[in-house]
Amino acid sequence: MSINFKKKERPFSKNWIKSYCLIILGCMLFAVGDVMFVNPYRLAPGGTYGLANVFNTLWPWRISYYALCMDIPLLIIGTWVLGPRFGAKTVFSTILISVFVWILESTWEYNPVIHDGLIENPAPGELGFVPDYFLNTLVAGLIYGLAIGLIFRAGATSGGSDIIAMLLNKGVKTSLGTLVLIVDSTISLTTFIAFKQARLPIYSILLIAIESKIIDIVVDGIKSYKTVFIISDHIEEIRQFIIVDLERGGTCFKGKGLYKGNEREMIYTTITRNEFVKLRSKIYDIDPNAFINVTNSSETIGEGFKALEKD
């Protein structure tokens, strides 16, 4: 996943308006996921809102207030230690999420959307409904992933654990992605400490996994690319097919076989999954004895693919 948090856009330009529309939509969805799906089930899928959900259950106070009390100091400390790398968009999204959460808290309150029936007069500490943990976690992960993915696509972050991970990254030789996972998983474990139910951190971490996959799809799309390495005695025919029929480029070079030491021509190219199906069929027609090595490319940048952006 590649996200540019520093891209600059001219105010009120088409891209600027699009970015802020994505942030607004993402913040709305985040609030829906947190108030309607996550909080009623006492889940904590990382971030300041994960902790806010735990605090809200233990010591009733609005989630938005708890989150703001954590987010504002984190933004200040993050800007002081790391410099102004978050920008106006992250500040905007952080405040807007709390606004939407506050609105839902005031209107919808903390009632679940997914349940198998309500319970009258529940025992102290018990849920007021018959839960469906798996379905709720699945839907919450989809909503969270879509929400944060839209915010990321706009070049912002949702604050919270992202900033904590960036601060830790200054002194710990661990990747930022790993640190985010560690921070979020640690926050998820607070549900077990608070409520003594092992399933809560398990479902919270499952939610994080679903959310992460959806974020990747929203940010990078669902296109799958194949990097193909071809060795054949009929390399020119294959080259022509790639250039003319697939309209793709690549690299031709010569190499020497390890066993017999014979010199062979080779092609290195990156194509889409659909194009690879056509290429494989064509190679079979041209040279059934060709050697083909195929790897999945998680990200392909350059002409004909995604544009290269400066971080």
Kindly state whether residue 131 falls inside one of the protein's structural domains: yes
Confidence of residue 176 (pLDDT cuts 50, 70, 90): low
Neighbouring C-beta atoms of residue 273, cutoff 10 Å? 11
The structure tokens listed for 149 are 């993915």
Q: Does residue 234 share a domain with residue 200? A: no
For the chain, give the mean pLDDT.
84
* Residue 233: CATH number of its domain: 3.30.70.120
Residue that wins the pLDDT comparison between 181 and 266: 266
Kindly state whether residue 155 falls inside one of the protein's structural domains: yes
Q: Hey, which of 180-189, 257-266, 294-303 has the most confident mean pLDDT? A: 180-189
pLDDT above 90 (res 24) = yes
Provide the pLDDT for residue 122: 84
Of 161, 186, 220, the one marking the end of a domain is 220
Of 220, 254, 281, the one marking the end of a domain is 220
**CA-based nearest residue to 93, from 179, 29, 185:** 29
Q: Does residue 208 share a domain with residue 168? A: yes
Q: Stretch 217-243: mean pLDDT, rounded?
A: 84
Kindly state whether residue 122 falls inside one of the protein's structural domains: yes
Q: Does residue 210 share a domain with residue 104? A: yes
DSSP string, 128-184: SB---HHHHHHHHHHHHHHHHHHHHHTT----THHHHHHHHHTTS-S-HHHHHHHHH
Q: Does residue 31 share a domain with residue 110? A: yes
Confidence of residue 38 (pLDDT cuts 50, 70, 90): very high
| Span 248-264, pLDDT tens digits | 888 888 877 777 777 88
Percent of the chain with pLDDT over 90: 35
For 45-74, give one letter per residue: b (16+ CB within 10 A) or e. bbbbbbbbbbbbbeeeeebbebbbebbbeb
Provide the pLDDT for residue 111: 93
Q: Does residue 80 share a domain with residue 157? A: yes
pLDDT above 70 (res 73) = yes
Confidence (pTM): 0.75
DSSP string, 77-97: HHHHHH-S-SHHHHHHHHHHH
Of 192, 220, 248, the one marking the end of a domain is 220
Residue that wins the pLDDT comparison between 92 and 310: 92
The structure tokens listed for 284 are 């079979």
Q: Please work out, in degrees rounded to the nearest 5, the angle formed at the alpha carbon of residue 91 by the alpha carbons of 89 and 93.
A: 65
Measured CA to CA, the distance from residue 102 to residue 108 in angstroms comes to: 10
Kindly state whether residue 201 falls inside one of the protein's structural domains: yes
Kindly state whether residue 113 falls inside one of the protein's structural domains: yes
Q: Does residue 204 share a domain with residue 179? A: yes
Provide the pLDDT for residue 135: 96
Measured CA to CA, the distance from residue 76 to residue 69 in angstroms comes to: 12
Expressed as residue numbers, the domain containing 152 is 14-220
Q: Stretch 93-98: mean pLDDT, rounded?
A: 92
Q: In what order do the strands lie in the sheet with 251-256?
A: 251-256, 263-272, 225-231, 291-297
CA 271, 277, 283, 288 torsion: positive or negative? positive
Q: Does residue 211 share a domain with residue 238? A: no
Provide the pLDDT for residue 39: 94
Q: Stretch 167-186: mean pLDDT, rounded?
A: 73
Provide the pLDDT for residue 2: 46
Q: Does residue 62 share a domain with residue 79? A: yes
Q: Stretch 117-140: mean pLDDT, rounded?
A: 90
| Tally of domains within the chain | 2
Kindly state whether residue 1 falls inside one of the protein's structural domains: no
Percent of the chain with pLDDT over 70: 85
Kindly state whether residue 308 falls inside one of the protein's structural domains: no
Q: Stretch 136-147: mean pLDDT, rounded?
A: 94
Least confident of 32-36, 97-101, 159-163: 159-163
Q: Does residue 174 share a domain with residue 35? A: yes
Measured CA to CA, the distance from residue 272 to residue 293 in angstroms comes to: 15
Provide the pLDDT for residue 125: 76
Q: Does residue 129 share a domain with residue 236? A: no
Q: Does residue 229 share a domain with residue 128? A: no
Kindly state whether residue 309 falls inside one of the protein's structural domains: no
6: which DSSP letter?
Answer: T
Q: Does residue 155 share a domain with residue 81? A: yes
Residue at 76: amino acid letter: I
Asked if 239 and 267 count as a contact pair (C-beta separation under 8 A), the reply is yes
